[in-house]
Amino acid sequence: MLEFELSAGQQQLREGIRSIGKSVIRPMSLGWDKNKEIPEDFLRNFYSMSKSLQGAENPMADYNEGPKEKSNKPRSTNRTAAVGAEELAWADASIMLSLPGPGLGGPPVRASGTPEQKERFFSIFRDMSDQLRWGAYGLTEPGAGSDVKAIRTTCRKDGDDYILNGRKCYITNGGRAAWVVIFATVDASQGRAGQRAFVVEQGTPGFFVGKIEDKLGLRANETAELVLEDCRVPAANLLGGEEKYQSKEGFMTAMKTFDNTRPLVAAMACGIGKAAYEYARDFVKDNYMLGRPIPRYAALAERLARISRRLEAARILVWKAVWMADHGKPNAKEASMAKALAGQAAISACIDAIEICGAHGTLSEDHALLEKWFRDIKVYDIFEGTGQIQRIVISKRLMTNLRGF
């Protein structure tokens, strides 16, 4: 049965991140956004601090420690990660995406890698006391994003290697990643069946970092273009090995990744939406006496209530999706539902907050965070599959048994 109560460890994690977010992260947030980076010294200190927040229930520790022995007891990894993601995004979404570790590259390696691959690629994150390291996920291309089967990066076997050619774009932490999971196709005409997933390591000949994007929002997080020109990748870096790809394993690897990451993206959207809602709520409390029988005040109260309802509904969908993932249940529909609702609910929350605060919402230096959240939130209805794609996924899952779907 779906649990709505957080464990003691998850509650401690949430309170710890909220405290650090309010006292340490928020005061630096606007400076990071202006300078378009989070200093590595801060990331190193925050990483060290995060490891002590809540030991075994620290989501960052779980992803950084590599594979663990299987247990019959349901995990809480995804639920804990969602709790942490929401609180970090409440403080500053850029830092959530900039944390050292495997990042979005972790789920496909964990889901499809061989035991040897998991050990090799996760082990570099176990001790980052001397050097921070990142992983990344390279799926999106100039002509293929939400439509995964449209990727055109090619791979061909050459002896004990594969030769990759193509271009990836909008890759989170792509420029500094120690390795990137790259999706390519042996034959685009085969569609999903032709796709393969590789771990391409930094320094591999023919693997280059292109431009670093100058973005509307999340400006402190690095987003890079990656170029592969006759890039020679060992066959040992093909995720899961050759036998995995007798069917549509490459495409399924991408989809499994989305089922794990879409709820976390939705949780982050909830965090940004919650920040905007709390800001508007406190502004109204400080400037209006809502108890007075004035129609405009009643409208403000109803608007705040609507924001809160939608964000709470999105959070419950997130928790359902991660609960299913932790219990080994297929959650593609629920993951898409969570992301589709959370992105729109948070965008509406930011727009409503600006309108509630009026000129103060954008013109006053004291309210610059609200303007930043408005810029940051837009991408949460785009990356990890656009809102339109989520609605297609949901409808197909709902209509599975009907002809034509």
d(Cα 346, Cα 312) in Å, to the nearest integer? 11
Residue 95: strand, helix, or coil: helix
Domains of the chain, start order = 8-108 (1.10.540.10), 132-247 (2.40.110.10), 251-398 (1.20.140.10)
Give the Cβ contact number of residue 373 at 10 Å: 26
Task: Tell me which residue has tokens 């994007």.
Answer: 213
75-105 in b/e form (b: 16+ CB < 10 A) is ebbbbbbbbbbbbbbbbbbbbbbbbbbbbbb
* Per-residue tokens: 345: 């609910």
Q: For residue 14, give the nearest of 374, 270, 328, 281 by alpha carbon.
A: 270
pLDDT at residue 150, as a whole number: 87
Given a cut of 70, whether residue 364 has pLDDT beyond it is no
Query: pLDDT tens for residues 299-314?
Result: 898 999 999 999 999 9
pLDDT at residue 114, as a whole number: 94
d(Cα 192, Cα 323) in Å, to the nearest integer? 28
Instruction: State the sign of the Cα–Cα–Cα–Cα dihedral 90, 93, 98, 101.
Output: positive
Query: pLDDT tens for residues 211-262?
Result: 999 999 999 999 999 999 999 999 999 999 988 887 666 667 767 778 889 9
Given a cut of 90, whether residue 276 has pLDDT beyond it is yes
Q: How confident is the model at residue 288 (pLDDT cuts 50, 70, 90)?
A: confident
Total residue length of the chain: 405
State residue 169 phi and psi, 5-degree precision: -135, 160
Would you list the DSSP string of 297-358?
HHHHHHHHHHHHHHHHHHHHHHHHHHHHHHTT---HHHHHHHHHHHHHHHHHHHHHHHHHHG
Q: How confident is the model at residue 87 (pLDDT cuts 50, 70, 90)?
A: very high
* Residues annotated as part of the active site: 384
pLDDT at residue 55, as a whole number: 44
pTM: 0.90
* Per-residue tokens: 5: 């109560």
Mean pLDDT of 376-401: 88
pLDDT at residue 241, as a whole number: 92
Query: pLDDT tens for residues 140-192?
Result: 999 887 777 789 999 999 999 999 999 999 999 999 999 999 999 999 888 88
Would you list the DSSP string of 110-132?
HHH--HHHHHHHHGGGS--SS--
d(Cα 251, Cα 69) in Å, to the nearest integer? 26
The answer to whether the beta carbons of residues 377 and 346 sit under 8 Å apart is: yes
pLDDT at residue 297, as a whole number: 79
Give 89 or 359, the one with higher predicted confidence. Answer: 89
Q: How confident is the model at residue 72 (pLDDT cuts 50, 70, 90)?
A: low
